[in-house]
Amino acid sequence: MISWKNLDTLNVYKKFLALKGRVNIVEAMAGENGAKRVAEYSVPMACGMKYNFAAKAVDDTSLDVLQELADEHQLIAKYEELLGGAVINTGEKRLVLHQLCRGQLKGDVIADGVNKRDFYVSQQKKAADFANKVHAGEITNAAGEKFTTAVQIGIGGSDLGPRAIYLALENWAKTNDSLKMEARFISNVDPDDAAAVLKSVDIPHTLFIVVSKSGTTLETLTNESFVRDALRNAGVDPSRHMLAVTSETSPLASSSDYLEAFFMDDYIGGRYSSSSCVGAVILSLAFGPEIFARIMNGASESDKAALNPDIRQNAALLDALIGAYERNVEGYLCTAVLPYSQALCRFPAHLQQLDMESNGKSVNRFGEPVDYVTGPVIFGEPGTNGQHSFYQLLHQGTNIVPMQFVGYKDSQIGMDVDIQGSTSQKKLCANVVAQIMAFACGKDDENPNKAFAGGRPSSIIIGDSLYPESLGALLAHFENKVMFQGFIWNVNSFDQEGVQLGKLLAKRVLAHETDGALKAYADLFDI
């Protein structure tokens, strides 16, 4: 029997709080003891990656308490409930099925009289068949010419995840002769966004993918109209160039304005939707369906690994538990995501939405206020760029910010140069290693301006290189980490009511139904 409890009602909660200040990172990471921790505090991940948490403020006793918390809180059982089709999204009374898009881990899930796994597979096959026909020249523009570019029109989860994945594999695909079409993305309702993308593409040879589950998203429909005007101005029939990714009940589903429609459903939230047709259509067009399938295979490996009840063998679960310790016991507000891979340049932005939209909640899954802090603020940029930007605060600021590094032994492309005795990739790896130790151990100096206190916790995910399977595994690792943290805090990680109020007020402003300060602000912009 699953019991959904607030974190502070658990029997283990006092032990959990008693972990505060238990481990001195400076001492723990110094000398041979530090070398031993690096060797021992490492958890295998999917696709040969490792999660190393040596520079976190935990020890074996801490891990025992975190294991006790995971067991008492039934975190794996709750994950199994989710996989089995339980109503985990209590706010909207919905199932949560993004993992089902990439593997049948717990049998069939029937909802609304439909086998949902069959539904997701059928839509992925439809996307694959369509992409193959486009690549083969069986589906062309009105002049019988091949499409060369695909542009996704969407916002939030319809943009951030697919964009991050595309950028992560774009150069890999070019190197491996797997880039079938270039991809672009329009998200912001700011007209400069759409205009810039339209100026960068050959409109008569471009497919535009409108992504909106409801078919009513204001920003997306506005940008769609912007694009339709551009197509008409180019002498092109928009219905020959536009696709829809939407729900079967939306206004877009059966419209003759689209060359083809692909379907998603209410059981996959936007920030989790890269595994659905939201990602399948654009990524299959860009890279080919077989590459999208490889991404999903890596994600499925991560999903399976996340079922292990032993936190010392379950990277996503351990990552979540250590994050909860840092948030609830040590009181750290933020987490910095720092990929030492330029290909992951938009991955921190995707994780901002994934984490903050999921667990930025102050009531539990039953609508009751919680008496403890929940999700952290997520931010980040790729290294080494970030080192010359905000790392100053991370090293010497008054607030301690835990860090999540991601690094790879080898580059994606294979091009490199040896300068001053080492390659660019070795310099990149040397920097991430140096940063972990600098943050952990710091440096004494008579000059206070040059002294580093150290004690700044970090973990690192290490892989051989970034390729489709390892990217999928990384994506799913963070999705599962966020899911587990939602279970720990007893919040609903799968609704996002916080985005709705602003939308409603914006509609009032545009309808001139305003008064007070809302009207005064609108008047500043001559609305």
Question: What positions carry a catalytic annotation?
Answer: 357, 388, 503
Q: How does strand 149-153 pair with strand 206-211?
A: parallel
CA nearest neighbour of 45 among 271, 279, 319: 319
DSSP secondary structure letters along 135-194: HHTSS--TTSPPP-EEEEE--GGGTHHHHHHHHHHHHHHHHTT---SEEEEE--SSHHHH
Give me the residue label for tokens 């078919």.
215
- CB within 8 A of 15, min separation 6: which ones? 65, 68
Amino acid at 49: M
Please say whether the dihedral angle defined by the alpha carbons of residues 488, 493, 360 and 305, taken in this order, is positive or negative: positive
Torsion of CA 68, 272, 54, 398, to 10 degrees: -100
- Token pair in block for residue 330: 């040590």
Tally the C-alpha atoms within 13 A of residue 463's C-alpha that lie toward its C-beta.
Answer: 23
CA nearest neighbour of 123 among 101, 108, 146: 101
CA distance 104 to 46: 17
Neighbours of 357 (CB within 10 A): 23
CA distance 178 to 169: 10
CA nearest neighbour of 479 among 331, 317, 260: 317
Per-residue buried b or exposed e for 488-513, using 16+ beta carbons within 10 Å of the residue's own CB? bbbbbbbbbeeeeeeeeeeeeeeeee
Torsion of CA 386, 387, 390, 391, to 10 degrees: 130
Amino acid at 286: A
Identify whether the C-beta of residue 260 lies closer than 8 Å to the C-beta of residue 139.
no
